[in-house]
Amino acid sequence: NCKLLEVLNVGNNSLFDHFPCMLRNSTSLKVLVLRSNKFNGNLTCNITRNSWKNLQIIDIASNNFTGMLNAECFSNWRGMMVADDYVETGRNHIQYKFFQLSNLYYQDTVTLTIKGMELELVKILRVFTSIDFSSNRFQGMIPDTFGHLSSLYVLNLSHNALEGPIPKSIGKLQMLESLDLSRNHLSGEIPSELSSLTFLAALNLSFNNLFGSIPLSNQFQTFSADSYEGNRGLCGLPLNVTCKSDAPELKPAPSFQDDSYDWQFIFTGVGYIVGAAN
């Protein structure tokens, strides 16, 4: 019933509950932090077109959530999509007055894990967006609809049981600065589309079942081998594993065995004809 609620942070407690689907139609909610609790179950809610439409930060890491990621849900998170009017109010961070006739504001403070470090955001920029689903028990494939979140800065799906290929649509997230898909069961090649993420400053794809050559681009060459370790099928820089396709091809020496066999057959046939004539 809190229709003006913008931030809900109950992180680092011992709460035992399911995902708060009752908030799905809260159009004012922008920040949802449930991390480090005992939440369980799946994220299946009765989705409508307006569900979570202004959400820009969601952190449900380190819980016991299970099931598959709902592809339809991410399509509704318009707060994580680039919009030309995101500064139309003139405010560049979430804030609201707690005394109507004063100039005092409550500045939102949220602690997020970004690029492997816990950072406290005292003023949450209106354009900052983050998804952290790490350290749960999610299964299935990563939905292609993540590619719709064109203003996403941080995506962390590590330490789950996700499988299948890395969606090529993630290459559309041109604002992405941190991507962590480590310690899952992902397979296939690293999509070449990811090489277009020019703002990517942190990448971790380690300990999956990825194979093939690491995309050749200036951005991917800046990451250390730690970003790719634990994938036995990967090759190329910065790993000290040479891809087979990179080795020079050795052309086999010409063989005259077939030709000699043909001539031998011809001469044998001629001798047979001559003998029959005599």
Which is nearest to 15 in space by CA: 49, 48, 57, 62?
A: 62
Say what the pTM is.
0.77
CB-based burial, 162-172: b 16+ in 10 Å, e otherwise:
bbeebbebbbb
- Identify whether 259 is part of a domain: no
pLDDT score at 92: 47
- Identify whether 210 is part of a domain: yes
- Identify whether 261 is part of a domain: no
Q: What is the pLDDT of residues 99-137, one digit of tens each?
A: 344 444 344 556 666 656 666 655 555 567 899 999 999
- Identify whether 115 is part of a domain: yes
- Identify whether 63 is part of a domain: yes
Residue 145 reports pLDDT greater than 80: yes
Q: Which residue range forms the structural domain that includes residue 136?
A: 7-84+104-235
Looking up tokens 């800065």 gives: 153
pLDDT score at 277: 44
- Identify whether 124 is part of a domain: yes
For residue 202, give the 3-state DSSP assignment.
Answer: strand
- Identify whether 97 is part of a domain: no
The stretch 238-263 carries a mean pLDDT of 58
- Identify whether 265 is part of a domain: no
CATH number of 169's domain = 3.80.10.10
- Place 85 in a pLDDT band, splitting at 50, 70 and 90: very low
CA separation for the pair 243, 236 (Å, rounded): 6
Domain count across the chain: 1
CA separation for the pair 132, 114 (Å, rounded): 9
Residue 270 reports pLDDT greater than 90: no
Instruction: Please check whether residue 80 is in contact with residue 152, taking contact to mean a CB–CB distance below 8 angstroms.
Output: yes
In terms of average pLDDT, the best of 64-68, 101-105, 262-266 is 64-68
